[in-house]
Each structure stands twice: as C-alpha cells, then as structure tokens.
Structure 1
Amino acid sequence: MSKVVIKAENISKQYRLGLVGTGTVRDDFKRWWSNVRGKEDPFLKIGEINNREIKGQSDYVWSLRDINFEIKQGDSVGIIGRNGAGKSTLLKILSQVTQPTTGKIYNKGRIASLLEVGTGFHPEMTGRENIYLNGAILGMRKHEIKRKFDEIVAFSGVERYIDTPVKRYSSGMYVRLAFAVAAHLDSEILIVDEVLAVGDADFQKKCLGKMNDVSKGEGRTVLFVSHSMASVKKLCNKGMVLQNGSIVFQGLIEDVVNYYENNLISTDRVLEIDYSIDDNLPMQIKRVELLNERVNKLFNTLDELIFEFDIVCRENIEGAYVTVDLKDVNDELIYWSGDYSSKRFIENIKGEIKMLCKLPKGILTSGIYNVSFAIYSPVNGVVQNEYNKVITFEIEESQSSYLSQFNINYPGKIGIPSKWDVIKINDGQYD
C-alpha cells in the first residue's frame, strides 16, 4: 500500500486587496489584541471568495478556502481550473513559498518545484552556478549534483550558454534549464505549474515524457497544473478541480477532466459572437463564428481554423481590412493575421458581405486561446474594435507527428499567412 506523502488539512489563504503585507496598523493591532486574549483572529471571519467576475464588498478575499486532500507516493496529480481558481496559490503553499492563513500541510520528502519563469534562479549567476545553487537548496551534496550535471545540461539544450549569466537567457531557455534541474535532481516530489506553455511543442512533449518517467519509472510524486486537458490526461492518474478557491471535484483523472469539461470549460468555450449594431459606423463586423463540426467543440492541432464573418459596409474606406488577434490563456498576444490580403475585399464593397478567414493547420500547440477582431484602415485608423468580444476555443494535441509547415510553434508576435475569401454579397456591389 502506497504511503501518503502530501496531506492538506483545512488549508485556507487570505489576501488583502491593494496592499502589501497584512494591511493597516489598526488591523495589525486588532490581530495582536485578539491573540493576547486567546481569541480568534477577527479578520478570519470576514472575506469573500476570489471570484473576479463580480464586484465584492470586502477588502479581504479567500484565494483558497478549506482545502483537504491526500496524495500518495507515485501519484501524478493534475490540478485544473479556470484562471484565478487558486491553482498557483496552492502550489506555492505546497512548495513552502508562502504560508497558509489557516490549516496545515504535511509532506514526506524533498520538493522540487517549477512555479514560474526564473523561480529559484539568481539572474547574475551562470546556468552552471544556478544548477549547483538549486541542488544545494534541495539539500543535495556537491558530488550528487555533479553526477547529474551532464544529464541536466543535455536535457535542457542550453549547453552553449551554460556559463552565461541567466539574466541573458530568453524565457524559453529559462524554462528549459529550470525544468531540467527540477526533474533530474533527487527530490521525492516534483511540482510543475503551467510555465511549460512558454516552451515550444517539442520541448513540451519532452517534458511530459520526462515527468511520466519520473512518476511511473522512478516512483516519484508529480503535481501538475495545466490548461491543456490532453497533457493532463496523458500524464496524470488522479486530479482535482479548483473553482473560486475551493476543491469542487477530485478523483481519477478521466472523471476529473469530464467534470471540468462538462461543468466549467463548456461554458467558457465561445465559438460565435454577435456585435451590437451601430449605424454610425461606416463599416462593422456584425457576427463572427469559428466553424467547427466536432461534437465536443474541441479542435485538433491539425485542424484548419475557419472564421466566418458577417460584415456590413455602409461607406467605402480606403485600405480597410479585418484584423485577427489571437492570445493565449495568459492574455499574451502570440499570433495575428499579419498579411493584408483582405484589403481588396473590404474596400470598394458596399452592402452586407460574408467572408471566410482560414488560418493554416499546425500553427498552435494544445491549449486554450482567445481571439478578438477589429476593422482597421491605415488612413482612418481603427474603424471598429470591441475588446470584450472574444471567441474562446481549446485545441487538443494530435497523435500525428506532423510538424508545422510554417515552423512557428512558439510564442511571439508572429503574422499568420491567412487566406481570405468573400463568399456572399447581399444587395451590394463592387465600386
């Protein structure tokens, strides 16, 4: 029978909005006076759940509330939930980066964690020095680190820069080396946040393979946070779903992912958006739909992304075209429709038109993406732009070994070679 290596008992974490530290001197005095009299902290009785979609009344919020679970040796546990659910806060508590407001964490064994880009690295030190530093923090002796050193460097792929200060590394190089250190040094528990999204597709596969070896081959325990359900299902055997700081479901990974997709993600996926009509705009997008024939509304990495537009052109605007901005779950712009092939379609057209924009397959890795649209003219500037109108969709990784023909499977502001077609003009004409 496997032994329990991590146990959480009534873990809660409270933050005070807008301030660093515990808050005001008056609040600190009330806490002190309650402690002197042997009474409970008065501020633990107040506070609201961390729901960013509603406006709260209290300055105190519970990032986590009454978290209880047990993790056994050798388990791979996926922690999933929306942004702001409390996943990263929980990992920081488990990694002892921060302390819980209430409750206790029990663990058996050394913990290696990768929480965000650059965590645990000293920017002025070289990659080589940081490997030894991280090993020392884990309590390893120099000869133990030296024994693993070549394997770490080979896995990270940054051998050429190993004696360069890490402050000169790109975010991708940071993650490569940080993951290699965390995965190869002798720790009983490996904790990985969603920072692997910074790496390219090949490196993500490499990391998942390594974590799988660590868990199933070496019997180590893995905690993994990701927005990619395909990655979670591939790596983990158990999981838990966080919502507004509380565990709403936990169990076998298949059941956990099904619960998340049916109760949370399904409401987040938005494949069609309608815009409010403004007759004062010379041109306007009325509706956009991401065409999809799959039953579960998911996309595959080999699927062609096809957006259908309904556009009304009331006046002719020189050089007008539609922009497509695609962002990841961290709201970082990673791709945009950089070609200007749509100019010939929008200018010199009057009436209502239906257009298709096709983005080529293989340009995105697995994950959740948001897309916004606008009409722009180099002469008139922004004609229409509603940032709050977004299409949200999820991509699963294909089992095929096909690689992107455009070789742009990494974050960065990149123009997509999109294809545009006018498929219908209602009561309109070319000028």
Structure 2
Amino acid sequence: MSLHHVELAISASWIIPIIPKGRILEDSALIINEGKIVDIVLQSELQQRYQANSFIELKNQALIPGLINAHGHAAMSLLRGYADDLPLMTWLEEHIWPAESRWVNESFVRDGTELAIAEMLLSGTSCFSDMYFFPETAAEVAHESGIRAQIAFPVLDFPTPWGQGPDDYIHKGLALHDHYRSHDRINIAFGPHAPYTVSDDVLRQISTLAEELQAPIQIHLHETAEEVERAVSESGQRPSKRLAELGLLSPLAQCVHMTQVDESDLRVLKSSGAHVVHCPDSNLKLASGLCPVKDLLREGINVALGTDGAASNNDLSMLNEIKQAALLAKFQTMDASSLNAHDSLYMATMAGAKALGIDKQCGSLEVGKAADICAIDLSELTAQPVYNPASQIIYSQNQVSHLWVNGQHLVNQGKLSRINQESLIKRASAWRDKIRHA
C-alpha cells in the first residue's frame, strides 16, 4: 500500500478536538498538509498510512485548537500596570485617555501590538480580536507575526490620535477592509467604541455598511451598572434595546462585557443572534460587574472569551481567562457543576470562532480546518497525576510548548519563532521610561 506524502504529522498523548464536545482522543496524531488538517489517526496507524516531511512526537502533551482571544486592545500592553486599582471611568477619563492622547502614535501601536502578540502566542492564542487606534499598523504587525486576527477599527464621535471624527474613521476603516479583503488570516471589523461614545446616526450607518459587507461589529456594551443607569435616565432605554432598534444587533454583532443583563436584555440578545464576549479578569479588576454566563448559555446565546487589554487585566493569557470564567460561573450559580472544563474550553475556541464569524476556518481540530494548534505540556510536576487532561488544562498551571497557525510553527518548545523577544523587551522598557519620566 502506497504512503500519502504530507508536510507535517504531530502525535500526542491526548487530542481534545472540541468538536464533538467532550471527546478526548488518546495516542493519536494530526496530519497536516498545506496549512490544513487532513486527517486524525491513531499513532499505531500513522507510519502505515503517511510519510511526513516533518514528524513531531509530543509525549505527555495535549493538543487543543489554538485559543481565540475575542476582545482586546493589543497596543495597550505598553500601559500594563500604568493606572491600577481604579474604577472604570476614573481609570479611563483621568489616566488612560490623557496618556493615549499624549503618547499614542503608529510607533506606539506597532511596539505595543507586537508585545501583545508575543505574549498571546506564548500562552496559546492563535487568533485575537483587536480594537484600537492605527488599526492599519496593528494589521500589518499581525500579518508579519503569522497570527490570525480580527482588526476592529475604532469609531467614536470625537477626535482621537487616529482621526477627526466618525466620517474619517469609517473612511479609513473601509479602505483597510478593502486592503485585507482576500487575506487568509486577517479580517476587518467595525469597532464602534460604546453606546455612550457613538451617536444614533453613526450607529445606523455602521449597521447598514456592516450588513452590506457582511463585516462583523464589535462594541463595548453594558460594561458597568453606571453605563446602563445613565442611559436609562437620559433616554428611557437600556443600551441593548437602543442598539437593537438601530439595527446594530445581529449575528454580525459582538457585544463585549455584558455585565448588566436583565430578562429584557436576554430576549434582545437571543432574538438578534448577537454574540457576547465575556472578559472576566478585566471586569473583576475594574469592579465592573459579572457577566451572567449560565443565563446566556441557557438561552442559546453564544458566549466567547476575551482578555481585554493588558492595561485593565495585566496579562493576556487565555488559559488564565478560561480558569477564571469557569470558577466565576460556579460561584455565581453556587453550583460546582456549572461551566465544566469542556464547556469553558469550548468558549475559548469554537465559541470565539463563531463570534468572529470564522468557525468554518478554525476553532476546532477537524479535518478540513486550518491547522491552528496549541500543544500543552502535561509532563511537569504540577500536572501530576493526569486523570483528565481537559480538567488539568483548565484548572492547573501548564506550559504551552508549541503553537501552529495555518500550519506555521510560531512557538517551538516554548520559544517564539518569528519575534525577537530581547528586542521587544528593550522597546517596551524604553516606552515605560519615556511615559514615566514625562
């Protein structure tokens, strides 16, 4: 029997494909060719069926889909720890916005985005969503790094370092969308900042354009009780209802945070088909509130996970975010069976892919999908003994050993393949010194 020639075969003690949910394959191998998964076989069958140009054997390691960070502000990694221990609006209005006004430029975004991507790759993230100024620069850095990305260009009613107002932002954003229209790893989305920073006419325009282009929309929504209370006081409407009436909520919409959710919000989200992006660490640190994940899931609403920016989280590890989400769900419901290991891992993979509209490309280890693969080392002392690798990944501290995106080896034995880590640390330190001593 002739052997099939392929580019890469990766065998591991465990493979958690995500689809079907709850399945764990033991002593199996992924077969990869031209950047896609072409087969999943038992290790005992591998040499009988395939001849691979490269073969990687990962004993006592688990393969999972690359993690999907569905919301963040990558360049804000340069403001990590800059204004800690403050409530959201004080943090934003008195510290972050003034710092951004003074320091944010293309160079800041390039260095900050590269720093964030390096951290995300090393912690198992193969795809991230970004909403920040100078999205052209962020997209370029993502392209160069090899990571998969959704770049949401910001839209606000007022000037920022990137533009003069809504018309300017949308004009630049549409040009960016055209530039990356056929890119295999980078998608462009609309990023209206929040209901309290974008007016009705602009939101209607975004809704129309997004529907025409079938482009995603990501927006901060119901982030704090104060936001919702102020909206009701001023307009008589909860922000979710206002956005629904403006046509902004649809299966293209990604609603970030949603810490304040009542029954009317659940009905709006369910009927619209909009997605929710849960950012547990950031919401806890800013004391913004808790997203009612179990209520959302009960209604069939898709819930993805995001880290938010490093300025309001301090780390961009999706493994940390998954654990936090699982523990919070248990605490909120006072039910230890809430959001089990497989469900929380699903949120960080397949649910993220669905929210970003790329679930046909990635989010699970299935034949025909992109080879976005994360290998987690379960051989360390802190992982012993391994009864259930899924639980071990979620609840223990583990090391990401390898990461592939589109079959490209971006993390090899815990080391970045394309990014110069020493240079990056020096540049980040230079920004700290400049900002601190200003």
TM-score by length of 1: 0.27
More strand by percentage: 1
Structure (1 or 2) with the larger CA radius of gyration? 1
Point out which structure has higher relative CO (alpha carbons under 8 A, 6+ apart).
2
- Larger relative helix fraction: 2
